């Protein structure tokens, strides 16, 4: 009698342990590894502070981003310096506008450009790559040749052509960046899909009568999620860099809107006159965002690396 009870208790313990092991998913392990990455977590905290600054910073602003302080236009070098008392915390730009308000607007614009550009790459590139890799054959060959043709053209040239033809605005900028951001993503997703569709669980799903659409949604896409997330996180700073370069050339967002790249270009142009603050403040936010996003991307890559599971 006691022997049976002991066996039942052991069996229950084994079931409990097995359930606990099964309940700990690979995504939970990846999250734990990411949380243990001190550099990545520090960058998440810093990026969070920047988001808080963008959201709540306007509550502290005493001037709008378009308002000109005519009383200090006589000598910007002397009267346009950062000053807490007159409400110009970051000083004035070359036209007498409050740099604090303009940095907030520019940071918001640059973050939106990076996030929307990465989202467009994620959606378009993933859909395109999955279709090409899963169905293969002539469809795959034709779709990939189209991608190769676009990749052969300098991406900056494509962005400039779209902005020149369609005009400079938020929408056209997002379209221009989205037109080139998905190309590399599609090739990465296609390569992963070609590997996944030959795996045993895909063959089992086919043998079980599962439709191709269901196989893509239930089996292919979930297994691509790790690679897609990592690449998308690294694509955010690339989109910000691309927008900054375009703005530096004077083809970015038109006035009165602005971005960090545009403010840096303006600050670099007036730096020789002694208005160093016009360059340093936007440059600080720009460099901080780029560095934090790259470290976060590296942390996600390490956390989702299959070799570390």
pLDDT, tens digit, for every residue of 226-275? Answer: 788 878 877 888 888 888 778 777 777 767 778 888 888 888 877 777 78
Q: Residue 75 has what pLDDT?
A: 64
d(CA 125, CA 204): 27
Residue 78 has pLDDT above 80, yes or no: no
Residue 162 has pLDDT above 80, yes or no: yes
Q: Residue 4 has what pLDDT?
A: 46
Residue 77 has pLDDT above 50, yes or no: yes
Q: Residue 25 has what pLDDT?
A: 66
Residue 307 has pLDDT above 60, yes or no: no
Residue 167 has pLDDT above 70, yes or no: yes
**Topology of the domain comprising 40-308:** MetI-like fold (1.10.3720)
Q: Residue 51 has what pLDDT?
A: 92
Q: Residue 7 has what pLDDT?
A: 46
Q: Residue 209 has what pLDDT?
A: 81
Task: Report if pTM > 0.85.
Answer: no
Phi first, then psi, for residue 95 (nearest 5°) are -100, 10
pLDDT, tens digit, for every residue of 177-194? Answer: 877 888 888 998 998 898
Q: Which of the listed ranges 102-106, 118-122, 166-170 does the model predict with the highest average pLDDT?
A: 102-106
* Residue 48 pLDDT grade (very low, low, confident, very high; cuts 50, 70, 90): very high
Domain borders along the chain are 1-36, 40-308
In the numeric block, the tokens 């998913």 are attached to 25
* Residue 26 pLDDT grade (very low, low, confident, very high; cuts 50, 70, 90): low
Residue range 207-211: average pLDDT?
81
In the numeric block, the tokens 């700990």 are attached to 24
Distances (CA, A) of 166 to 56, 176, 246, 251, 285: 33, 9, 15, 12, 29
What's the mean pLDDT when you consider all of the chain? 80
d(CA 83, CA 62): 12
Higher-scoring residue by pLDDT: 199, 69: 199
Q: Residue 1 has what pLDDT?
A: 45
SS3 of residue 256 by DSSP? coil
């Amino acid at each position: 009698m006691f022997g049976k009870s002991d066996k039942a208790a052991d069996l229950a313990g084994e079931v409990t342990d097995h359930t606990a092991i099964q309940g700990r998913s690979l995504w939970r392990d990846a999250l734990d590894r990411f949380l243990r990455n001190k550099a990545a977590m520090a960058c998440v905290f810093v990026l969070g502070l920047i988001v808080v600054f963008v959201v709540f910073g306007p509550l502290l602003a005493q001037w709008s981003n378009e308002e000109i302080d005519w009383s200090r236009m006589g000598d910007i070098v002397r009267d346009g310096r950062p000053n807490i008392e007159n409400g110009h915390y970051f000083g004035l730009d070359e036209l007498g506008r409050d740099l604090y308000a303009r940095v907030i607007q520019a940071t918001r614009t640059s973050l939106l450009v990076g996030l929307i550009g990465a989202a467009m790459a994620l959606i378009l590139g993933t859909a395109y790559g999955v279709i090409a890799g899963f169905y293969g054959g002539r469809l795959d060959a034709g779709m990939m040749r189209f991608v190769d043709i676009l990749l052969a053209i300098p991406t900056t040239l494509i962005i400039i052509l779209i902005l020149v033809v369609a005009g400079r605005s938020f929408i056209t900028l997002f379209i221009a960046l989205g037109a080139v951001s998905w190309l590399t993503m599609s090739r990465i997703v296609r390569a992963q899909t070609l590997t996944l569709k030959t795996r045993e669980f895909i063959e089992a799903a086919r043998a079980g009568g599962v439709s191709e659409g269901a196989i893509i949604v239930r089996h292919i896409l979930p297994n691509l999620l790790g690679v897609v997330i990592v690449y998308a996180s690294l694509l955010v700073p690339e989109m910000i860099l691309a927008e900054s370069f375009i703005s530096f050339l004077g083809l970015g967002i038109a006035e009165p809107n602005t971005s960090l790249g545009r403010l840096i270009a303006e600050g670099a142009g007036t730096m020789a006159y002694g208005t160093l603050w016009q360059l340093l403040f936007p440059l600080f936010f720009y460099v901080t965002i780029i560095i934090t996003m790259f470290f976060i991307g590296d942390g996600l890559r390490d956390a989702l690396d299959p070799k570390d599971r």
